[in-house]
């Protein structure tokens, strides 16, 4: 399975980057062992959906992409959790951290060619991917990604095996993706991506929210 850059270019346009800069300065810590998430349905225009035909209980899945933030999934599911849409759920990262640590990899040739620079180059990392399926069949319900409650930032969970820095600029779909991530310690960190009006995206550190919204955009 391949995860492209749609998680970035599907973002809601932000009014600017000033709020993003404040959030970066406020946070350098790793993610705690447990996170509170809440799944919600949204349409393609970012409006909340209340459609009775959509499943109220979904299967939340999390494999990883090692050595890149997009591309081929490189592991089986590390998380399979039935969650109820509209209600808070605890995501226990302590249960998977050992597997994530052993599966992380240094930056792939594909990622480096696309413009991602990791310093030091020996640093190993892995992005935790968000997937949502029907519990009965395993068929995908739709696109899924973490976001803030304000809805203008896509949030990524990424494991790093040491202090490092992500930089560089990639170009895709008529826009650019710039990286400005400073990792102070080993562990799982939150990154955020915000798009401006020119379809340029900046990826940087994010603060840990009280509740992480799992945004589901149904296929239909």
The span from the CA of 167 to the CA of 202, in Å, is: 10
Highest-confidence segment of 55-69, 145-159, 169-183: 55-69
CA 105 – CA 100 distance, rounded (Å): 10
* Residue 31 near residue 94 (C-beta atoms within 8 A): no
Domain count, the chain: 1
Those residues with Cβ within 8 angstroms of residue 123's Cβ, 6 or more apart along the chain or in another chain: 106, 107, 160, 161, 162, 164, 183
Q: Which domain holds residue 191?
A: 2-218
pTM: 0.85
**Interval 18-66: pLDDT, tens:** 332 323 333 445 788 999 999 999 999 889 999 999 999 999 999 999 9
Q: How far apart are CA 191 and CA 38, in angstroms?
A: 18
pLDDT above 80 for 82: yes
Residues 6+ apart with CB under 8 A from 169: 115, 176, 177, 178, 179
């Amino acid at each position: 399975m391949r995860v492209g850059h749609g998680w970035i270019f599907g973002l809601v346009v932000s009014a600017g980057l000033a709020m993003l800069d404040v959030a970066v300065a406020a946070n350098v810590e790793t993610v705690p062992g447990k996170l509170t998430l809440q799944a919600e349905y949204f349409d393609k225009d970012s409006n909340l959906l209340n459609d009775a035909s959509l499943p109220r209980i979904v299967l939340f899945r999390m494999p990883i992409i090692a050595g890149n933030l997009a591309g081929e999934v490189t592991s089986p599911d590390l998380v399979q959790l039935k969650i109820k849409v509209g209600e808070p759920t605890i995501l226990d990262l302590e249960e998977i951290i050992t597997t994530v640590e052993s599966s992380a990899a240094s930056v792939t040739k594909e990622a480096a060619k696309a413009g991602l620079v990791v310093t030091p180059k020996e640093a190993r990392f892995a992005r935790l991917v968000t997937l949502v399926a029907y519990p009965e069949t395993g068929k995908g319900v739709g696109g899924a990604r973490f976001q803030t409650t304000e809805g203008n930032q896509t949030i990524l969970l990424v494991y790093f095996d040491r202090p490092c820095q992500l930089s560089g600029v990639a170009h895709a779909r008529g826009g650019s993706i710039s990286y400005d991530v400073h990792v102070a310690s080993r562990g799982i960190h939150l990154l955020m991506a915000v798009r401006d009006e020119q379809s340029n995206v900046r990826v940087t550190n994010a603060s840990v929210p009280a509740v992480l919204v799992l945004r589901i955009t149904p296929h239909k």
